[in-house]
Amino acid sequence: MQFRPASRAVGMEYAIRDLVLPARELERSGTKVIWLNIGDPGAFDFDTPEHIKRAMFDAILEGHNNYGDSEGYIELREAIAEREKRKNGSDIDTGNIVVTTGITEGIQLLLGAMIEQGDELLVPGPTYPPYSSVTKYYGGKPVPYRTIEEKNWRPDLDDIRSNISERTKAILVVSPNNPTGAVYSESDLREICNIAAEHRLPIISDEIYDMLTYGKKHVSPSTVSKDVPMVILNGFSKSYLVTGWRIGYTMFRDSGDSLKELKEAFLKEARARLCASNPAQRAMVAALKGPQTHITKMVRALRERRDYAVKRINEMEGLSVAVPDGAFYVFPRIEAPGWKNDRDFVLHVLKHGHVLFVNGSGFDGKYGGMHFRSVFLAPMEMMEKAMDGLQTALTVRR
Ligand SMILES: Cc1ncc(COP(=O)(O)O)c(C=O)c1O
């Protein structure tokens, strides 16, 4: 007998971790695999800055091991408000900031508060998978809008317009983007804000990679329009190198009161899940207020690795890749014939090149198909080995 699980959970997908099993199997048989599937800088040579580790330690030793407020530790919310003022010139009151267990929990709480059966969320195609899978989990429908590969994956504004329906609840912007690395221009963002205003829709803006750009600066939609209601998600995982501590935040930015009820529903859910990690929240105050030099160093190293990956991939016959302006992903197109689909390609590269990537269709069936995503977080020597492995796999006939 089987106890039947709910279909909403059975349908849950996360391509980034789906191909871990065949990679582990290969490693068990004695082959070393280079894992370029997960966007975790700490898994490579980027370590959490010492003063942040110390602050976490101190918070624990000082006894901050109990539950905290559901909205988050007030000193951290104040530090976040200051940071947003500094970075984006925004005046976001601490009452409109909620600290979450990573952005991931912010996505769950937000879409849980927003999506009813049949509601639609406009998402970039391709996009970071949880926005689609959590929307589906709540009975909604993610509707991808095209992003244009030939134009460095900038958003197709006409496609955004034509995909808006009576059921659309919000437009999602992820810039810098995962998986394409696109950094949206101010003029594209202005146009997206105009579309949102015209259709009275809020914008959801995921800004987790806002400090990780290579030349082209990140612009937050919140600086482009002061009127369009926005829910902004950000977090510490990537820029402060604490992916395992699980701390992020959600901000409600509204010149009127159209987000009031949504925020109240979000807060009800937040109370029901108690709080984010108390010591980690205190450590994040030190992260925001302490030295930021590790970010400059990280960006410098990542730029070199990005340039190398892009050059090698574009030299390989059968692959081409647009230059990412932010985040730490490349999203090459598979042009070589011979593979059933992109998953088949990724499994082939794993088997013959011993490198694990993520199949592009995991980020969107239509716009991600026949692509794959690689991180360029690995040190140069490892990046070289990975690119050699990819090249070898391309020469092995099917
Ligand atoms: C666009 C985007 N948002 C959110 C997350 C998850 O962030 P967190 O660690 O804060 O849950 C990721 C992780 O890869 C991401 O790429």
Classify 45 in phi/psi space as left (phi over 0), alpha (psi -120 to 50) or beta: alpha
Distance 104 CA to ligand 1 centre (A): 6
Residue 125 bridge partners (DSSP): 146
- Residue 250's H or E segment, with its range, is strand 248-253
Give the pLDDT confidence score for residue 18 in this predicted structure.
78
Classify 316 in phi/psi space as left (phi over 0), alpha (psi -120 to 50) or beta: beta
- Residue list, ligand 1 pocket, CB within 6 Å: 39, 102-104, 128, 174, 178, 206, 208, 235, 237, 243, 248
Question: What's the CA dihedral at 298, 300, 304, 309 to 10 degrees?
Answer: 40
Residue of 100, 103, 105 best suited for mutating to test ligand 1, as the one with most atoms within 8 Å of CB: 103
**Contact indicator for 229, 258 with CB cutoff of 8 Å:** yes
Give the pLDDT confidence score for residue 398 in this predicted structure.
64
Q: Which ligand 1 atom minimizes the distance to the CA of 105?
A: 11
Give the pLDDT confidence score for residue 319 in this predicted structure.
96
Q: Which ligand 1 atom minimizes the distance to the CA of 177?
A: 1
Residue 258 amino acid letter: S
Largest CA distance in the chain: 61
- Taking only the tens of pLDDT, the chain with its 398 residues reads 889 999 888 878 777 777 899 999 999 999 999 999 999 999 999 999 999 999 999 999 999 999 999 999 999 999 999 999 999 999 999 999 999 999 999 999 999 999 999 999 999 999 999 999 999 999 999 999 999 999 999 999 999 999 999 999 999 999 999 999 999 999 999 999 999 999 999 999 999 999 999 989 999 999 999 999 999 999 999 999 999 999 999 999 999 999 999 999 999 999 999 999 999 999 999 999 999 999 999 999 999 999 999 999 999 999 999 999 999 999 999 998 888 999 999 999 999 999 999 999 999 999 999 999 999 999 999 999 999 999 999 998 76
Which residue has its alpha carbon closest to ligand 1 atom 7?
Answer: 103
Q: Which ligand 1 atom minimizes the distance to the CA of 174?
A: 1
User: What's the Cα-to-Cα distance from 81 to each of 74, 94, 221, 253, rounded to whole Å?
Assistant: 10, 6, 16, 11
3-state secondary structure (DSSP) of residue 362: helix
Residue of 111, 238, 251, 358 best suited for mutating to test ligand 1, as the one with most atoms within 8 Å of CB: 238
**Contact indicator for 36, 20 with CB cutoff of 8 Å:** no
pTM over 0.85: yes
Please tell me what DSSP assigns to residue 240. T
Nearest 5°: the CA angle 365, 124, 188 is: 145
Residue of 127, 128, 172 best suited for mutating to test ligand 1, as the one with most atoms within 8 Å of CB: 128
Q: Where are the alpha helices (DSSP H) in 163-254?
A: 186-198, 221-224
Give the pLDDT confidence score for residue 233 in this predicted structure.
98
Distance separating alpha carbons of residues 242 and 295, to the nearest angstrom: 13
Distance separating alpha carbons of residues 284 and 316, to the nearest angstrom: 42
* Residue of 221, 225, 186, 188 whose CA lies nearest to 207: 221
Q: Which ligand 1 atom minimizes the distance to the CA of 237?
A: 9
Distance separating alpha carbons of residues 272 and 251, to the nearest angstrom: 19
Domains of the chain: 7-47+293-395 (3.90.1150.10), 50-289 (3.40.640.10)
- Residue 145's H or E segment, with its range, is strand 141-148
